[in-house]
């Protein structure tokens, strides 16, 4: 186990996730502290901070200690600040962003390495987020299934979550591009990915962005992919985070999936998010 000297690290489940204490992320942190936070992220895949005050400028400054800020192509609706995404759920919404298991923005040629989500307003209960460990998901597969998947690529697209055909804007307050000039972004990625920092293998598919296995039709791919979608979010691979105003979740997008639980129908849930370029 990593020995931390500048932060406290308290795991919240056996699979992944840890709460970080002893640090104010809005401060100008030294390199050693940032190094420990990054190591905690690699060790636990998603890390959480409580009781933080994170104005937009400090949110961005903290994000940049880990990499360049990724500009999400589908949340560009003419706003001046293109680096910050706001995720809003209001009473009357019948859908929320991220309510299916997914990794973020995997249709990009280089998907973002992570995201930092900060809670501005949360309901008294509900609206939790689930995370799933994709190292464990891969390692729990049989040798035969691992051998089948190694070397295969899957095609990812954002056609289900943006554009006029998706019809998501009619259901929720968090809007995406749906103009006539929108075009899908499509790229292929290995189904089994080797994490660039840890060297461990993990599954890298999800039911939101993955369309089919490269070289197969959607019908031919479906039995394999549907098995993986059900397998990769088994309860023993997951943790659950209960939000409070001032809470932060920082996840490794390369080795996790996450899901926003849509169970706070009469309440407001307002979050601000940056993503870190891959």
**242 carries an active-site annotation:** no
Cα separation, 35 vs 65, in Å, equals: 10
Cα separation, 175 vs 153, in Å, equals: 30
**102 carries an active-site annotation:** yes
Catalytically annotated residue among 89, 93, 104, 254: 104
Q: Which residues pair with 201 in a beta bridge?
A: 194
Catalytically annotated residue among 89, 195, 254, 258: 258
Catalytically annotated residue among 44, 59, 72, 102: 102
Cα separation, 29 vs 10, in Å, equals: 20
| CB hemisphere CA count around 216 (13 angstroms) | 16
Q: What is the pairing mode between strands 129-133 and 256-260?
A: antiparallel
Selection from 42, 14, 110 nearest residue 251 by Cα: 42
Cα separation, 28 vs 249, in Å, equals: 19
Cα separation, 143 vs 243, in Å, equals: 38
**273 carries an active-site annotation:** yes
Q: Where are the beta strands (DSSP E) in 65-198?
A: 69-70, 85-89, 114-121, 129-133, 153-157, 186-190, 192-194
**172 carries an active-site annotation:** no
Instruction: Return left, alpha or beta for 254; rule: phi > 0 is left, psi -120 to 50 is alpha, else beta.
Output: alpha
Tokens 């949340």 belong to which residue? 75
From edge to edge, which strands make up the β-sheet containing 129-133?
A: 238-241, 129-133, 256-260
Q: How many CB atoms lie within 10 A of CB 124?
A: 8
Residues in the chain, total:
278
Q: What is the pairing mode between strands 8-11 and 18-21?
A: antiparallel
> What is the set of active-site residues?
102, 104, 258, 273
């Amino acid at each position: 186990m990593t020995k931390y000297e500048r932060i406290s690290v308290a795991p919240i489940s056996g699979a992944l996730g840890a709460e970080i204490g002893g640090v104010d992320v809005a401060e100008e942190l030294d390199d050693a502290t940032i190094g420990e936070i990054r190591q905690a992220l690699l060790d636990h895949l998603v890390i959480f901070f409580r009781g933080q005050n994170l104005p937009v400028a400090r949110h961005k400054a903290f994000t940049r200690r880990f990499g360049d800020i990724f500009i999400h192509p589908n949340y560009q609706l003419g706003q001046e600040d293109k680096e910050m995404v706001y995720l809003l759920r209001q009473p009357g919404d019948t859908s929320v962003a991220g309510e299916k298991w997914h990794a973020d923005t995997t249709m990009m040629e280089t998907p973002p390495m992570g995201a930092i989500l900060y809670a501005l307003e949360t309901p008294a209960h509900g609206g939790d987020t689930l995370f799933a460990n994709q190292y464990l998901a891969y390692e729990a597969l049989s040798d035969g299934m691992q051998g089948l998947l190694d070397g295969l690529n899957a095609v990812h697209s954002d056609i289900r979550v943006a554009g006029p055909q998706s019809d998501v804007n009619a259901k929720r307050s968090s809007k995406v591009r749906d103009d006539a000039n929108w075009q899908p972004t499509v790229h292929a990625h290995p189904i089994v990915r080797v994490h660039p920092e840890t060297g461990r293998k993990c599954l890298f598919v999800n039911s939101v962005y993955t369309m089919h296995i490269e070289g197969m039709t959607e019908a031919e791919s479906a039995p394999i992919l549907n098995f993986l979608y059900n397998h990769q979010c088994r309860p023993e691979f997951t943790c659950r985070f209960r939000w409070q105003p001032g809470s932060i979740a920082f996840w490794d997008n390369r080795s996790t999936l996450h899901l926003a639980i849509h169970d706070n129908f009469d309440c407001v849930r307002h979050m601000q998010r940056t993503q870190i370029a891959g």
